[in-house]
Amino acid sequence: MFSGILIEKNETSSLAKIADLDESQLPAGDVTVRVTYSTLNYKDALAITGRGPVVRKFPMVPGIDLVGTVEDSSNPDFKVGDNVLLNGWGVGEAHWGGLAQKARVNGDWLIPMPRGFSAQQAMAIGTAGYTAMLSVLALERNGVTPDKGEVLVTGANGGVGSFAIALLAGLGYTVVASTGRLEEADYLKRLGVSEIIDRSILSGPGRPLAKERWAGAIDSVGSHTLANVCASTRYGGTVAACGLAQGMDLPASVAPFILRGVTLAGIDSVMRPRRDRIAAWDRLARDLDLSILKEITREIGLGEVVQTANHLLAGEVRGRVVVDVNR
């Protein structure tokens, strides 16, 4: 037996709670992992609270991230005792995820534990930091270099936003943060922002084209915010879109794309091929100042997950939440 967060559904709603689980309940897979740490992401919070259609079958163990040690394997790439990491691939949505003391998964979803990180540090980074790195790589591929001008990060106090700021600032970019929590200005400045703007400037309906400002942007918000970011991006700039906290709609026009040559780069972290995952984690090992993890990260146990999920959706959680599944 082992413990985990289990989401069950009745005729009218879903309910998440800590449950005692049996290994026989684990889904099919060729690698069984003894989990050490998981995380609590925005998507996990939607699943746990039932406020978003994240879970595709019930019952479900949420948790889109995990690190741990291989306990059993018939996959040729992994053997008993290997330390492994998983981000995405539908775990916590269609396949039992990391918010439990054991997980059974498809070995093709795993990568070896990246060098240079402890298990706790890898989960402090998690999908949020990995997604932020993929977004930075997209800007680089499209020629957005530090000398081109300011780069905007929306949803700046969230996990992706926090890592995006830290990575960009460390690489020499001038970073502007958009946030609805101006009281967190000191935190954002410690991460490396040069200016902070209120999210209300971008969150309402805007014009098809606005004054050019951003050389690039990383947006985790979507909806009107993303539309306004594109409208104010400079000629030839790139916007990396990686989230939908405001909404999954895009009330924009084609004007920024055909009149200014703006690139809208979609960032998928869920189904990314293994080679891209390893490349992103290699860059994180090289470019991320690990000393900021204490600034960004809060650690909780399984018993605090459900309550913290509600706080996260209420905008009351800063940065990253790491879950020690064994306490």
* Any domain includes 92: yes
Residues 245 and 140 placed together within one structural domain of the fold: yes
Do 95 and 137 belong to one domain?
no
**Residue 181 sits in the same domain as residue 75:** no
What is residue 11's predicted lDDT score, i.e. its pLDDT? 79
pLDDT at site 12: 78
Backbone angles phi, psi at 4, to 5 degrees: -165, 165
Residues 180 and 63 in one domain: no
In terms of domains, do 137 and 93 share one? Answer: no
Count the domains in the chain.
2
Residues of the chain with pLDDT under 50: none
319, part of any domain: yes
- Which pLDDT belongs to residue 17? 95
Instruction: Specify whether 9 is located in the same domain as 99.
Output: yes
Q: Are residues 153 and 253 in the same domain?
A: yes
Please report whether residue 283 resides in a domain.
no
Structural domain contains residue 275:
no
Q: Is residue 118 part of a domain?
A: no
Could you tell me if residue 234 is inside a domain?
A: yes
Q: Would residue 205 count as lying in a domain?
A: yes
Question: What pLDDT does 264 receive?
Answer: 98
Which pLDDT belongs to residue 318? 86
Domain match, 312 and 200 both: no
33 with 108, same domain?
yes
The share of the chain scoring above pLDDT 90, in percent, equals 94
- Domain limits at 77? 2-113+291-324
| pLDDT for the residue 13 | 82
Q: Quick one: CA dihedral 221, 225, 229, 231, positive or negative?
A: positive
Q: What is the pLDDT of residues 259-293, one digit of tens each?
A: 999 999 999 999 999 999 999 999 999 999 999 99
pLDDT, residue 173, reads 98
* pLDDT, mean over the chain: 96
Same domain, yes or no, for 135 and 244?
A: yes
320 DSSP assignment: E
pLDDT at residue 300 in the model: 98
Same-domain status, 142 and 259:
yes
What residues contact residue 92 under an 8 Å CB cut-off, 6+ apart? 43, 44, 47, 54, 55, 60, 61, 62, 63, 64, 98, 99
Q: Note whether residue 119 is domain-resident.
A: no
